[in-house]
Structures are given as structure tokens and as C-alpha cells.
Structure 1
Amino acid sequence: MSQHSSQEKLIGNTWRGKTSEELFERAKLVSPGGVHSPVRSFRSVGGTPVFFASANGATLTDIQGKEYVDYCLSFGPLILGHRDPEVEEVVRETAGLAWSFGTAEPYSLELAEFITNQIPWAEKVRFVNSGTEAVMSALRVARAATGREKILKFDGCYHGHLDALLVKTGSGLAGESSSDSAGISAHSIANTLVLPLDDESVVEELFAKEGKDIAALIIEPLPANYGLLIQRKEFLLKIVETAKKHGTLVIFDEVISGFRTGFQGMSGLLGVRPDLVTYGKIIGGGFPVGCYAGRKDLLDLVAPSGPVYQAGTLSASPFGMRAGLATLKKTQRDNVYPIIEQRTKTLTEGLVSILNQRGDQEWEAVIHSSLFWLRKKTSEPVRRVDQISEGHKEGFAKVFHALLNEGIYLAPSGYEVGFLSFAHTDLVISKTLEIAQKALTKN
């Protein structure tokens, strides 16, 4: 082996000149399904996943140099777009300071102070490495604080892949919960109760029977992992009231909606003060960061202040802390939210108009802030999983591939939502609609 080829393998350029199909076959030999998170496999839409080599602004570039307008945005973190220049400058500076400390450092302090100063219900925060880890830790705190075992979640909300919450509704009022994954023991989910969304009465009925044993009610106040299931404000306020009446802690999972639907997330929009809240995605500026936050007395139960143990070697990475702070500051300074919300409306109105020219079915877009979900039009709002139209998955797959072929990248599942960023300028939106007109009106 020549010195050149040996060095090339060492620095990781063995993919150059290859196709996505070739790399996917290689990847399947060394990773489950060839990916490191299931949705990336394209199994929901069919075909071979595209392998991307770089990204900038609103654009992804694949390994062969083809550019795509990106409306997946790493599933939400990149509210300023890929490699925002101001954030990139901070990241480059950080690379010259430290990669990881494993010690006390000032960067997490600055981000924690920024969050707690801006969000009244986040009296203290603890940084972790993912949304899953944040939820797992928040539940542990809730059980310790209440001395109770049971957790109530809602069908259609996703809270990460921890055993206790990877469950689905079974039969019966409280959902004789059943595992939504192999490898999860009955013991792990024995204390997880599951109810449908959008039904206050079953929540009240459950609490009347089991309220004294429920440590926490956890919900995505904007469910965005099984389509965009926008909930009625009345429903959300009622279940919060019911939980608090029974001494049950309320956990809002705002890993997606936090700093996406506004600076104070759904909690701020609803006027709700959750006992605990989980954040992720945007707070890391594109790096792996999560956190759980909430009442001071609850967070003070966490080690080393209290008896609830939680630790993490790479927690509060300087890259995530500094990139996250730079992202949040720019988002606030440049009044990003109303701008990208208006652009989301412009984009989706255009896409729906183009889709409905096809005549095969009538489409609509569900939008909230800068999140959107394309689906078949229904006579009533879709607020629960069982209300999603039959054939939605197959219909979306056709749209997905038609757009992909022409250079528009959506999340590769009909049940994932789309996102806009500040980098999606009016010019980018106009270009997208031109491409979509060509892609979606072909015979």
C-alpha cells in the first residue's frame, strides 16, 4: 500500500468519487441498517439515502456535488441555517481553546445564566448530551420529588428512546401499556400510563383513579414527532390543571418546540409554568446538547446538591455551550421568529397550491411557527395519531422523491415535520417554489 493511499484512509477520504448507493452498501456491513438513526435509512419513503458531504446556509451538498435546498435541517436544531457565519466564528475560536474539559468551566455558566434570565420557570438547568438523556433525568427527579412511581404520557408524543417511555397505548382506560420496541421488559414499562391526545375527560378519569400514584405527566405541548399534531389550548391547560391538583409534576418536553416556536417555547405561548422542562436541538447550535430545567427545589435534588444521581463525561461541551449561546443571542437580536414564520407561510402556501394542481388528492399544510407538515386535506384538524388519513405515508413518499430528484430535501418520512431557518431567505423560498413547480407537475 502506498504512503498516499494509507494517508487517505487515515484522514477519511475513502468515499470520494463514490455514489450514495455504493456507500450505503458499505455502511450496511458495519452499522445496523447502514445508519445511526432509523429515519435516515429512507425505509419510510423507499429508495437509497443520499449521503451528504457538506452544508451551508439553506443548502446541503451530496458526495457528488449536487446541491439541495434543505427543509429537514438536522430535524430542527439549525434555526439560523447550516454554519451560520457568526456561530461558525465562535466554533472556530472554540477549537483553538479546548475540545472537552471534564471540569468546571465558564461556557456552560454563561449559557445557563442566559437561559435562566430569560425563562422564569427555568430557575436552574443541568446540561446533558441529548433530549433522551434530558427526559430520562427529568423523570428521575420527578419520582424522587414525589415518592411516586407512575408516569403518564400521551400517544403520539415522542420523548426519546428510554425504555420507560418507548411504549404505545394498549387496551383499557390507562392504556395497558405495551412495548413499542423489542428488548424492553414488561417491568420497564409497568409504571408507564398512556392516554390519547385531545381528550380531557379520560385524563380526569384516570387521575380520579390513580392520581395519588402518578409522579409526572409528560407531554410535547406541540407534538411534532408523529406529524404536527397541534393541540387545543383548552386541552393543554386542563390536563396541567388536573395534574397539579393531584400533586403530579408537569414536564413539558420542548426538545423540538423550545426556542423554535418563540424564545420561551410553547410554555411561554400557553402561559404555563411547567415544573420541569426539557430542551435540546437549538440550545446546542447544531452540536449534541440537551438540558432539563425547572423549579429550583427540584433541580437541587440532583447530585451533588441532592440524592438524585446524574452525570455525563461530555456534558456541557464547550462547542455546544458557545455555539448554543451564539445562536440564541442572534435569534433574539435579529427578531428571527416572525421573519421565518412568515416565510414558512409563503413556502407552504406555494407548495400546497402546486401539489393541488396534480389533481390526485387535495393537500394542505399544517404549520406552527417555522414548523410545517404536508398531508392530505381533512375536514377536521388532525390532533391524534388515529386521525391521520390512510395512504398518507405512500402519498408523501411520491412527493418526497419528486422533490428530492430536483434538489429539495425534506425529512425522509411522512410523519416527520419540516423546518425553516433564518437562512431560508425570500430568494431561497422563491427558488424552492420554482423547483417544486417543475418537480410536482411532471406527468
Structure 2
Amino acid sequence: MDGAQKATEPSRTSAYAERACKVLAGGVNSNIRLNEKPYPLCFVRGRGATLEDLDGRTYIDYVLGMGPVILGHDDPRVTDAIVEAVGRGLTFAGQHPDEVEVAERICAAVPSVEMVRCTCSGSEAVHAALRFARAATNRWKVIRFEGHYHGWLDTIYVGERPDEEGPVAPALPGTRGQSPATLQDVLVLPWNNLQALEATAHLYRGQIAAVILEPILCNTGVIPPKPGYVEAIRAVCDRENAMLIFDEVVTGFRVALGGAQSLLGIRPDLTIFGKA
């Protein structure tokens, strides 16, 4: 960061923050930015790995738009392709040849992917995957893990487990206004705990529709699975006829072209990609 101006001095950033608070809830459109002090950062342009804020300060961008800016900002190959596509039209309410080409490329890159369905967000994709798993198995219970993030929709967004709970805990709402009834079929397990996984599978035998996870836990620190842990999850799903869902919104096409599943050598039944 360029230290020519302190962030606490009166600036265009502070003026923007005051203006934003009058019309945006909390002055932001992402709760993550609520904790940025003294004001949420507001950027006006990016080039390569560099960002510039309202006051002309420059930053090295390690966030990359939370994932999608793999090639850096304003890469001419990406910019030219976008401009060319916009020139052909944006919304047709019909099919487009690029849909098939994108799906073919994904299937070629990720061996477990046989068919693709596009959605508008990662949260929506998770919602669709859970519905598909429940429809295919005719079951309702879903296992997820502490610290993993699968979007903010009511049916999967959970709060922290009480410390006094055992290895298998019912899901608790992650925010006010979220009905506990939406999480009655979600079970929360500690990450990298094989005993908890086996205990849950035994306790809810014949009821589990799916196990969903980030194959490499990125949401709360990069915590890879212990050796053999994801293999054990795959084995439990096979034994219980439950679906294994990899949420690769963060890891997909980044840790490897074939996603974390290609590094781990595990084939999930469903995969969620996003941040594109």
C-alpha cells in the first residue's frame, strides 16, 4: 500500500463511506466489508495485480475479487472477449452456443463432471445440488462440516456449534430472521474427525441424502483434509447410498484445472463451481 496518505485523514474514501451509509444497509453490500476500519475500501480501477482506491492509494491485490480474477485485472484477452460478446447482445431468453462450449470444456477438465447446469450464484448452485440429492435418494438429512461455507440461503447457512455439543450436533441458524425449521435436516460435524463421521452415519443410517464439503477447507483458513479423511467420506457415502457433493466454488480451476478433487484423487457425485 502507498503510505503517502493515512486512511484516517479526511478523504474521498471517508466521504464515500458517509454517502453510502445513507442508502446502503451498513454502507456495504457484503457483510465481510463491515469490519474494514476505519472505512470499507472503495476501489475505482485495477490493472494486473494492482488496485487503486478513491484517494489514489495503490494496493497489491491478494483477494482477486474473492476468486474470479485469476488472470489479474484488465487482462486484454478477457477485456477484448467481453467487449466482443457484449457487441453481439447480452440477454436473449434462449439458448446460446457458448453454453455448450463452456459445458464441454468443464467436462473435459473435470473427469467427474458428466453434465452441467448453470445457475446465477454459488448459493443457488448449492441449493440445486441439495435438492437433486434429496430427490435422487428420497431422503432428507444432509451432513456438512464446521467452518465450511456453502452460501447464505436458509437451508444450509449455519451458526457456530455450542462447545458442549458432542461430535454430532443439530444445525443452528447463522443469523437472526432465519427459521430453525429450515435446518432441521442438517447435521453439523467437526472437520477432520473420522469418529464423528462414522457415528453420524450409524445414528442416521438410511436417512442421509448427501454429504457436502469444501474438499480443501478455504472459508476459515486453508485446512486440507487429513490423509485418508476424504477417502473415508467417499466410502461412507458409497456404503450408505448417499451423494458426495464437493463445493469447489473456491478451489475449482484454481488449486488445479481439475479442482481439488483431481489433487485428492476423489470422484464426487456432484460438484459446485462458481466465482466465474
Identify unmatched segments of 5+ residues in structure 1.
1-17, 285-443
Question: What SS is found at the alignment partner of 2:273?
Answer: strand
Native 8 Å contact 1:55 1:83 kept in 2 = yes
Aligned positions of 1:129-208 closer than 5 A = 129-168=120-159, 169-170=161-162, 171-208=165-202
What does 1:362-381 correspond to in 2, within 5 Å?
A: none
- State the identity as a percent: 38
**Secondary structure of residue in 1 paired with 2:221:** coil
Alignment of 1:327-366 (within 5 A): none
Equivalent residues, number: 263
Are the counterparts in 2 of residues 121 and 274 from structure 1 also a CA contact under 8 Å? Answer: yes
Q: Partner of 2:217 in structure 1?
A: 223
Partner Cα separation in structure 2 for residue 48 and residue 125 of structure 1: 40
- What letter corresponds to residue 268 of structure 2 in structure 1? P
- 1:97 equivalent to 2:105? Answer no
Q: Give distance in 2, aligned partners of 1:160 and 1:117.
A: 27
Alignment-mate amino acid for residue 109 of structure 1? V
Could you give the per-residue CA deviations for residues 31-61 of structure 1, whole angstroms, max 9, x where no partner exists? Answer: 11111111123x1x53211211111111111
Check if 1:32 corresponds to 2:20: no
- Whether the 8 Å CA contact 2:111–2:258 is kept in 1: the answer is no
- 2:122 and 2:273 in contact (8 A); partners too: yes
Question: Where in structure 1 do 4 or more consecutive aligned residues deviate above 4 Å?
Answer: none
1:2-401 residue pairs with structure 2 within 5 A?
Answer: 19-41=12-34, 43=35, 45-168=36-159, 169-170=161-162, 171-281=165-275, 284=276
Cα pair 1:233 1:270 within 8 Å, conserved = no
CA distance in structure 2 between the partners assigned to 1:143 and 1:182 by the alignment: 27
Q: What amino acid is aligned across from residue 33 of structure 2 in structure 1?
A: R
**Preserved contact between residue 20 and residue 28 of structure 2 (Cα < 8 Å):** yes
Partners of 2:17 and 2:168 lie apart in 1 by 42
Measured after TM superposition, the shift of residue 176 of structure 1 is: 2.4
Work out the CA distance in 1 between the residues paired with 2:227 and 2:248.
16
3-state DSSP of counterpart to 2:222: coil
Which stretch of the first structure deviates more once superposed, 127-136 or 161-170?
Answer: 161-170
**CA RMSD of the aligned region, Å?**
1.3
Contact 2:44/2:53 (<8 A) preserved: yes
One-letter code of the match for 1:189? L
CA contact 2:230–2:266 (8 Å) conserved in 1: no
Counterpart secondary structure, 1:233: coil
Deviates more, 1:177-186 or 1:153-162: 177-186
Structure number, greater radius of gyration: 1
Q: What is the rounded CA distance, in whole Å, between the counterparts of 2:230 and 2:107 in structure 1?
A: 24
1: CA distance between counterparts of 2:182 and 2:263? 34
Higher alpha-carbon deviation: 202-211 or 172-181: 172-181
Measure the CA separation in 2 of the matches of 1:267 and 1:71.
24
- Deviation track 1:74-126 (CA, whole Å, cap 9, x = no partner) reads 11111111121111110111121112222111111110111112222110001
Query: For 1:276 and 1:80, how far apart are their aligned partners in 2?
Result: 27
Give the TM-score, by structure 2 length: 0.92
Q: Is the 8 A contact 1:211 1:248 kept in 2?
A: no
User: Any idea what SS the aligned residue of 1:212 has?
Assistant: coil
Q: Secondary structure at the match of 2:155?
A: helix
- The separation in 1 between residues aligned to 2:110 and 2:74, in whole angstroms, is 26
- Bigger relative contact order, structure 1 or 2 (CA pairs below 8 A, ≥6 apart): 1
Separation in 1, partners of 2:249, 2:80:
25
AA matched with 2:32: V
User: For 1:163, what is the secondary structure of its paired residue?
Assistant: coil
Cα drift, residue 174 of structure 1: 2.1
